[in-house]
Structure formats: C-alpha cells, structure tokens
Amino acid sequence: MRRLVAISAWIALATAGWGGEYNSVLNIGSPAPAWRDLPGVDGRKHSLDDLKGKKIVVVVFTCNSCPAAEAYEGRIKDFVRHHAGPESDIALVAINVNRIPEDRLDKMIERAAERQFNFPYLYDESQKIARAYGATYTPEFFVLDQERRVAYMGAMDDRSPPAQPTKNYLVDAVESVRRQQKPAVAETLARGCKIRYVRER
C-alpha cells in the first residue's frame, strides 16, 4: 500500500511539470515566470513585482513585425480601456522578444507613440521570458491570478481581425478569475506569427 501511495505521489509530482495541451512548458495552475527590469517604451524598467497591487495580470507576447499582432492592437487597446485601466485591479503588459530590426526597442517606441498604446510595451532581447512562458506565437495571451499562477493561456478570441469574434476567451477568463472561478475554457491554441527565437547554443 505504501508503495502504491509513493508511486501515485511520484506520478502527480512528475506530471505537475508537464506542459498543457498546446503549451509545452506551462500548464494551467503553473506559477507564472517573473520578468525583471525589462526596458519599456516609456523609458523605464519594468518587473512583475511592480504589479503587486493588481489582482489579475494579463501578459501578451506580441511584436511590431507580425501582421496578426498588428491587427490585434486595437482589440488589446479596447480590452485595456474597458477592463484594465489605471484604476482597475487588472493590468495588461505586452512583451516583445524578437530581435529583427523592425522589432527593436527604438521601433517599438515609434509604434507605441503612433498607435497610442495604453499599456506597457516591454522588450526582452534575451528572449528568456517568452521561453519561460512557452510562448510560441504573436499575439499569445496569459492570464495570471492573484497568486500569479496561470489561469488561462492562448488566443484572445476565436476570430482574427477583421472578422468579429463570437467568443472572447480573454474577457471570459478574466471575469472567471475575478469571481475566483476556473475559466470554462482555460487553454486555446494561439494564432498569429511564430516568435522569432534565436537558436540556443
């Protein structure tokens, strides 16, 4: 009996580290990797710890160069306007990790000013934070609960622009987490452009 219990505990411990259905690194309930001192388009350094006062944090991996990511910029701004404004207990942070010239920080600053982004737009040249999240596409969304565990990951909605969505996975997940409930849909497959990871040596 003891051996059976030990084997069961080992299996539970081992599978806890496995990725989700579409994410090979994180699963729903996994502790969210923290970023530290990432430069933003506002000229400041940003860390996850800066958002301790927020009950929910939405992280979106995005970039300048992807047409799908560009198409979603309006929807992201609308989400912030309606759900994650300065007085809200929700924060949204966008992170770009691509290294090509059009995705460098100077171009991000230009894009943020041109499009009047209402959210922090951060740059991680090391690409470590996107790898830690198992992010694959731009845009790809992660909802972190108050304990900074992953409550949702995947697409923002079920229809890429210009088509109008019939399901808004991100809003549904945030509202569920706010009610301290598990989202009905906790993981989806993100759509967009592949993140331009540099091969690790």
Asked whether the beta carbons of 38 and 122 are under 8 A apart, the reply is yes
Assigned CATH for 2-194: 3.40.30.10
Quote the pLDDT of residue 201: 66
Sequence-ordered list of residues with C-beta below 8 angstroms from that of 157, at least 6 positions apart, any chain: 75, 165, 167, 168, 169, 170
User: What are the sequence ranges of the domains in the chain?
Assistant: 2-194
pLDDT band for position 11 (cuts 50, 70, 90): very low
Q: Give the rounded distance of the alpha carbon of 100 from its chain centre.
A: 21
pLDDT band for position 200 (cuts 50, 70, 90): confident
Its pTM stands at: 0.89
Span 129-186, pLDDT tens digits: 999 999 999 999 999 999 999 999 999 999 999 999 999 999 999 999 999 999 999 9
